[in-house]
Structure 1
Amino acid sequence: MRARVLRQWFGGRWSLTARLAMASALLSLLVGGVFSYLILAIAGMRDAATLDRYSQRTLASAYDLERIVIDLEAGGRGYLLTGDEAFLVPWTAARDRFEPQADELRRLSARYSPQEERADKITRDGRAYITQYSDPLVRDVRQDLVSVTTPALAEEGKRRVEALRADFNDFVRFEQKRAAERSERSHEAARRAVFVAIGGAVGSILLITGFSGYLTRRVVRPMRRVSLMAGEVTRGNLNVRLRETGKAEIGHLERSMNIMARSLKRNRDELIASRARIAAAGDAARRRIERDLHDGTQQRLVALGLELRLAEDDVPRDQTALRRRLSGLANQATDVVQELRELSRGIHPAILTRSGIVSAITALARRSSLPVETDLQVDHRLPERTEVAIYYVVSEALTNAAKHAHASCVRITLTATDGEVHLTVHDDGIGGADPACGSGLIGLRDRVEAVGGTVEIRSPPGDGTTLRVCVPTR
């Protein structure tokens, strides 16, 4: 039975709540048992102290009664030998005090029958001494001093007093023996109480230390790991996992946290993949529209403009109005072609497809209404989706700097390392940009995160805006 309980305890079948309850019950039993024993021991020692005080009163009463008997014997003997009435003063006082003191001794001895019997014997022998010897002695001495002073009479008095003193000695020895036994028992109980208190304290310390270690190992440390994991998940790191070493509720929590992290990572990966597909589809659609405009509509408009110029040349010189009309139509066709080129560039820049991100950013800088400084340290073509994402980030940043930031200068830095591209766009405008308030920043974040990148925006009021982008190239 004990082995099965221990296997359940250490094997993890019992819940953490049950283990806490069991440890609390053990500690409560230990502390309660120790305190109960100490309370009983203290009560026993208090009772022993009370009995000791009672015993001291009993002994004091016995000593007082013995002194009364001695005063009776001394007064009577002195009166017998000298006939001086002065000896009768203490004798009379002792005789008057005998009965009250004897009653007090019997009352104090009533709790223990052997002592009560001894007290009764002392009282009987004392009364017999007074009535049968001391009183007749004093009376006879008063009548005839010479006739009663015989050795036999003195010997009888001595014998009676010795017998009474023997009774007193027996009473005192027995009472002292009882007091010594009680004192020994009290001292033994005190020693046991000390040992129990020390054992209880040591046991409590060991139990508390062991339980604290168990809580630290099984609860505090796992909860700290769970807290650290939660912080990592909050910061976006969904690859972190817990070692599922906990038992009972803690183990269930660790498994739940790992399941949650895996589920979040799967959902995030699916979301990123979906956003990437949407962004790729949009880019492909824009490229197709740009290509169709360039290869179809734009070429037809160019051809139409050329036909209008040829028609203008075929018109006779004297038909000035018609020539002017055809020239205006040709100019309008040229303007439409130019506007169509600008429109197709906004849909998807052809220079990005032909020459790459460095040329595309350089073209954006030249067309910007603000002075733009560039530091483009990329010597090779990047993946297409990476170039598209960076291009639109730069385009949107330049637009925001001109429209909202009231900047006077913009600096663009682009570097490519092994597996990542880092872009920084900084303006010296008024700052205070907030992605939650629009300004195209939300769309930029979505586009960058769609290709697995990250966006960091720092825009303190009055200190410009800095946009940092990191995009993986693999």
Structure 2
Amino acid sequence: MSGAKGGLIRRMVLATCVLVVFVGGAFATLLVSISENRETARLSQRSHELFAAADQVNRHTIELRAAQESYALSGDKEFLARWQTAHTALVESNQHLEALATTDTQRQQTRQIAQTSTAFADEVSRPAVEAAQRGDAGAKSASVLLEGDRRIDQLHTDLSVLRETERDVIQARDTETAATANREMIAIIAGIAGSALAIALVGGYQTRLLVQPIRRAAAMADRLAGGALGTRMPETGKAEIGRLERSFNVMAEALQHSVGTQSALRRVATLVAHGGTPGEVLAAVVEELGRLVGTGAARIVRFEADGTATVVAAWGAPDPEMPVGARVSLGDDTATGIVQRTGQTARMGSFDGATALVAIHARELGAHASVSAPISVAGRLWGAVTVFAMGDQPMPPDAEERLTAATDLIGTAVANAQAHDDLAASRTRVVLATDEARRRIERDLHDGVQQRLLSLGLDVRRIQHTVSARQPELRAELSEVVDGINGTVDDVREISRGVHPAILTEGGLKPALKALARRSAVDVDVDLDLADRLPGPVEVAAYYVVAEALANAAKYACATRIEVRGAVRDGRLDVSVRDDGVGGADPGRGSGLVGLADRVEALGGTIRVDSPAGRGTHLRVQLPLLHT
């Protein structure tokens, strides 16, 4: 037995070594070939870049000469500007060309091209341009033109030398690469053929000695991997094969349980993350827990301060006597009562002899066992989740562990949902308190300060009429006092309108928005399909949103027309403000709409701003009427 094992190991090692040699050689040759091809491609790319840079030098030189001659003939400064641009570009192109040179030959040839083009620019073209600027007729003489032709011809000669040299280098490189590729191809084919032969030999050897005994196990494993977690193997094998079958069945059973548990916990975590009201979250969570544990019914209760409990979620085996929302008393002979008293997980193996009302109801519904686990919120015992085994269904032995694995998520769900509700209620209270304070300030200004100022103005006016005509200065001063008082009254009215417009309180949203439109510096088209009155917080929020939108359109958007639309649909107020301004508004950059968004969201509404650049701004607000 030992010798057989040793022989098999030696043969496998030898076969593996042969396989490694053939495969390693083939891949090494392939890597060398790839590296050489990459280097060839890189050098060819560099040559093409060199050609392109040389063409740029030639083009800019021709442009320089054309601009020089045009300026010398016409004196038009536009050609002088073109000459300057071409000169700058020529200098940059020469620098780029010399930077691309990597060999001594390339450096020598590119340097010669740069010197020839620079010599033309500095010794021929620049003096001709300067002479043309002075009005010297020699700038367009035949000698200048001939010298320019000579220098350009020299540049073309230098460029041709560079191109021919590079073409020869590329051709020689391609010839060498082709020869190398042929040799490497032969080596690769030989390596691949040898590797294939070695793989075939090793594969055949393994198939004959190892594969046949475990083929059935592989087929069953495929079914398990495909999702058939209930797959089990008949344990009929001997020795190692028998142990493999038994290990496979144990692994499949553990995997089935683990996958089911993780899937249920993932669904529970997803429900918690999505939020919602505590009732919505717990109703979905209790169903997942019932299915996770594998029982026929599940309940979640919240412990109250007086020792009772409230059913907050239920799944399976409906109990008309104790529906969701029912308040019940828990006895010591129930698993939930034990959790309430001890804060620890509890199991009831039977309801026989139980006297608590909840236990009697559970027995009447067909439950014969229950397991309950505590739910903690913020470190305090909040309630419990209980599962019931119904009819002939057995209670899983690990029901406690399955429930405990999910109770932290339930506590998180309850805490998150309660925090969300508390925050929404707090924001609503702040908004309502602020609106009420605005109304009170407006009433105080209107009924107090404004009326006192009006009364004071009347008193001063009456005193003015009693002053003798022989005292015109005093009458004039009293008139100025009355004018000042009237101006102060106007200021108070304007302030009170900004704090809380009286027309909104007295007439409702429709006349208030029409009054805003009349006061706007931009033409406003108003189309409102509203009832006479809406809930106060909704009217206030809509009013200030429209006021802010009109102010922004007039101040920043350069708009010429604004459309205001409002209607009540499906229990919601839908308000839309659209302008034809410049657009590009960003509510996140200090806009007054940020505070209004808080107000709208506190009332359970939504606000959306669509402001593409150059296409105006569209503001849409939706406010639920029932939320308030």
Which of 435, 438, 458 is the equivalent residue of 1:286? 438
Q: Which moved more, 1:194-203 or 1:458-467?
A: 194-203
Please tell me the residue identity of whatever aligns with 2:221: S
Which of 214, 219, 234 is the equivalent residue of 1:202? 219
Which of 260, 264, 279 is the equivalent residue of 1:218? 260
Please tell me the residue identity of whatever aligns with 1:361: L
How do residues 52-451 of structure 1 correspond to structure 2 at under 5 angstroms?
196-209=213-226, 210-211=228-229, 214=256, 218=260, 222=264, 225=267, 229=271, 232-233=274-275, 241-242=284-285, 243-244=288-289, 245-246=291-292, 256-451=408-603
What's the CA shift for 1:298? 0.6
What's the CA shift for 1:237? 8.8
CA distance in structure 2 between the aligned counterparts of 1:253 and 1:444, rounded to whole angstroms: 43
Number of positions where the alignment pairs a residue of Structure 1 with one of Structure 2:
292
What's the CA shift for 1:390? 0.8
CA distance in structure 2 between the aligned counterparts of 1:423 and 1:253, rounded to whole angstroms: 48
CA distance in structure 1 between the aligned counterparts of 2:598 and 2:436, rounded to whole angstroms: 17
Q: Does 1:471 align with 2:513?
A: no
What's the CA shift for 1:394? 1.0
CA distance in structure 1 between the aligned counterparts of 2:436 and 2:485, rounded to whole angstroms: 28
Unaligned runs of at least 5 residues, structure 2: 12-206, 230-251, 294-397
SS of residue matched to 2:557: coil
Q: Which residue of structure 1 aligns with residue 604 of structure 2?
A: 452
Q: Which residue of structure 1 aligns with residue 55 of structure 2?
A: none
Please tell me the residue identity of whatever aligns with 1:358: K
CA distance in structure 2 between the aligned counterparts of 1:340 and 1:381, rounded to whole angstroms: 27
What's the CA shift for 1:318? 2.0
Taking only aligned residues, the RMSD between alpha carbons, in angstroms, comes to 3.6
Q: Which residue of structure 2 aligns with residue 79 of structure 1?
A: none
Please tell me the residue identity of whatever aligns with 1:218: G
Compared with structure 1, are the counterparts of its residues 329 and 214 closer, same or farther at alpha carbon in structure 2 (3 Å cutoff)?
Answer: same
Compared with structure 1, are the counterparts of its residues 464 and 229 closer, same or farther at alpha carbon in structure 2 (3 Å cutoff)?
Answer: farther
Normalised by the size of structure 1, how large is the TM-score?
A: 0.54
Contact 1:405-1:431 at 8 Å conserved across structures:
yes
Please tell me the residue identity of whatever aligns with 2:220: G
Q: Which moved more, 1:293-302 or 1:202-211?
A: 202-211
CA distance in structure 2 between the aligned counterparts of 1:372 and 1:216, rounded to whole angstroms: 65
Please tell me the residue identity of whatever aligns with 2:476: R
Compared with structure 1, are the counterparts of its residues 463 and 225 closer, same or farther at alpha carbon in structure 2 (3 Å cutoff)?
Answer: farther
CA distance in structure 1 between the aligned counterparts of 2:404 and 2:616, rounded to whole angstroms: 49
CA distance in structure 2 between the aligned counterparts of 1:351 and 1:465, rounded to whole angstroms: 27
SS of residue matched to 1:362: helix
SS of residue matched to 2:528: strand
Contact 1:246-1:254 at 8 Å conserved across structures:
no
SS of residue matched to 2:576: strand
> Aligned residues: percent identity?
42
Q: Deviations over 1:1-45 (max 9, x none)?
A: xxxxxxxxxxxxxxxxxxxxxxxxxxxxxxxxxxx9xx97x96xx
SS of residue matched to 2:588: helix
Q: Which residue of structure 2 aligns with residue 82 of structure 1?
A: none
SS of residue matched to 2:591: coil
Please tell me the residue identity of whatever aligns with 2:575: L
Contact 1:393-1:444 at 8 Å conserved across structures:
yes
Compared with structure 1, are the counterparts of its residues 401 and 257 closer, same or farther at alpha carbon in structure 2 (3 Å cutoff)?
Answer: farther
What's the CA shift for 1:406? 2.2
CA distance in structure 2 between the aligned counterparts of 1:342 and 1:355, rounded to whole angstroms: 18
Contact 2:445-2:496 at 8 Å conserved across structures:
yes
CA distance in structure 2 between the aligned counterparts of 1:468 and 1:272, rounded to whole angstroms: 21
CA distance in structure 1 between the aligned counterparts of 2:272 and 2:613, rounded to whole angstroms: 32
Please tell me the residue identity of whatever aligns with 2:551: T
Please tell me the residue identity of whatever aligns with 1:454: T
What's the CA shift for 1:452? 1.6
Compared with structure 1, are the counterparts of its residues 406 and 253 closer, same or farther at alpha carbon in structure 2 (3 Å cutoff)?
Answer: farther
SS of residue matched to 1:437: coil
Q: Which has the higher contact order (CA 8 A, sep 6+)?
A: 1
What's the CA shift for 1:288? 1.0
Compared with structure 1, are the counterparts of its residues 277 and 194 closer, same or farther at alpha carbon in structure 2 (3 Å cutoff)?
Answer: closer
Contact 1:420-1:470 at 8 Å conserved across structures:
yes
Compared with structure 1, are the counterparts of its residues 364 and 329 closer, same or farther at alpha carbon in structure 2 (3 Å cutoff)?
Answer: same
Contact 1:218-1:250 at 8 Å conserved across structures:
no
What's the CA shift for 1:260? 3.4
CA distance in structure 1 between the aligned counterparts of 2:532 and 2:449, rounded to whole angstroms: 33
CA distance in structure 2 between the aligned counterparts of 1:237 and 1:413, rounded to whole angstroms: 33
Compared with structure 1, are the counterparts of its residues 421 and 262 closer, same or farther at alpha carbon in structure 2 (3 Å cutoff)?
Answer: farther
